[in-house]
């Protein structure tokens, strides 16, 4: 089992390496930008929830404060009514307003506790909202840096592609010259061979009786031609 696991790990690494080599760098850059944008949007959504929670707590604090104020005022009014009944000697009314004041006092206590709880939550929410906004701001700056880096990398990639194209052209020209050189040598060799064969035939012809006869005929023809020219010169009165 250990050998199979090592073999599988080796194969995965091999395929991963091959895939990375085959991946177009420009596509990799674009994928990195898209992933950063996705994370930025996700972070913004989370930050919006945190800030919304702070805003909701503000509204709850206002409502709780209103409840506290109302309960406090009602409790005071109940106490006043109880005192008025006591002064009037109305024991039943006094007891009724006293119980009402006690009930309102408990409601007031609960409202104050609720308000204090909201305030504590609000302090935490305020800090969390500030942290969330800073995180969004920092991530946005990183995203801008990544976009700028993308432009730089794409520019370098284009330069690399252009240089690769030039290198391929130069290598192609060099290869063409290497291919043409032997063919020209062969052509020159063939020409020299034909010239040598022609000279050899000339030498052979001159060395044979037929060659000597041809040379003699050529000499006679030249002599006759010279004589004919002299004759024409006399007729024209051009003699020296």
170 is a domain residue: no
114 is a domain residue: yes
Nearest of 65, 81, 134, 78 to residue 104 by alpha carbon: 78
State residue 59's pLDDT score.
93
State residue 217's pLDDT score.
65
199 is a domain residue: no
CB 57 within 8 A of CB 116: no
Per the model's pLDDT, the better-predicted residue between 185 and 194 turns out to be 194
17-26, 149-158, 197-206: the lowest-pLDDT one: 17-26
230 is a domain residue: no
Mean pLDDT to the nearest integer, 65-82 = 91
pLDDT tens-digit map of 156-185: 777 877 887 778 877 776 665 555 555 656
21 is a domain residue: yes
User: How many distinct structural domains can be found in the chain?
Assistant: 1
Whether the per-residue pLDDT at 231 is higher than 70: the answer is yes
Question: Using CA of residue 150, residue 155, residue 159, residue 164, what is the dihedral sign?
Answer: positive
240 is a domain residue: no
CATH (domain of 58): 1.10.287
Whether the per-residue pLDDT at 79 is higher than 80: the answer is yes
Q: Which domain holds residue 108?
A: 2-150
State residue 120's pLDDT score.
93
Whether the per-residue pLDDT at 201 is higher than 80: the answer is no
**DSSP track, 34-101:** HHHHHHHHHHHHHHHHHHHHHHHHHHHHHHHHHHHHHHHHHHHHHHHHHHHHHHTT-HHHHHHHHHHH
Average pLDDT, the chain: 78
pLDDT tens-digit map of 13-67: 555 655 455 456 667 777 877 887 888 888 889 889 989 999 999 999 999 999 9
State residue 175's pLDDT score.
62
For the chain, what's the residue count?
240
CA distances from 76 to 63, 97, 130 (A): 20, 10, 40
CB-neighbour burial class of residue 64 (10 A; exposed 0-12, middle 13-18, buried 19+): buried
127 is a domain residue: yes
pLDDT band at 115 (very low <50, low <70, confident <90, very high): very high
207 is a domain residue: no
């Amino acid at each position: 089992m250990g050998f199979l696991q090592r073999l599988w790990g080796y194969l995965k690494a091999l395929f991963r390496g091959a895939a990375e080599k085959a991946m177009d760098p420009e596509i990799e850059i674009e994928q990195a930008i898209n992933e950063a944008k996705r994370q930025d949007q996700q972070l913004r959504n989370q930050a919006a929830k945190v800030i919304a929670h702070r805003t909701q707590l503000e509204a709850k604090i206002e409502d709780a404060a209103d409840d506290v104020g109302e309960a406090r005022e009602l409790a005071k009014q109940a106490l006043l009514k109880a005192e008025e009944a006591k002064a009037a000697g109305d024991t039943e009314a006094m007891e009724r307003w006293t119980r009402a004041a006690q009930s309102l006092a408990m409601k007031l206590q609960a409202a104050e506790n609720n308000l204090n709880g909201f305030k504590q939550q609000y302090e935490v929410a305020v800090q969390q909202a500030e942290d969330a906004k800073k995180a969004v701001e920092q991530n946005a700056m990183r995203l801008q840096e990544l976009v700028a880096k993308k432009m730089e990398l794409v520019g370098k990639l284009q330069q690399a592609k252009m240089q690769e194209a030039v290198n391929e052209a130069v290598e192609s020209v060099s290869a063409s010259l290497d291919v043409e050189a032997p063919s020209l040598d062969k052509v020159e060799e063939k020409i020299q061979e034909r010239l040598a064969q022609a000279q050899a035939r000339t030498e052979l012809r001159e060395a044979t009786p037929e060659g000597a006869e041809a040379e003699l005929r050529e000499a006679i023809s030249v002599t006759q031609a010279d004589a004919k020219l002299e004759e024409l010169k006399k007729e024209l009165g051009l003699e020296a």
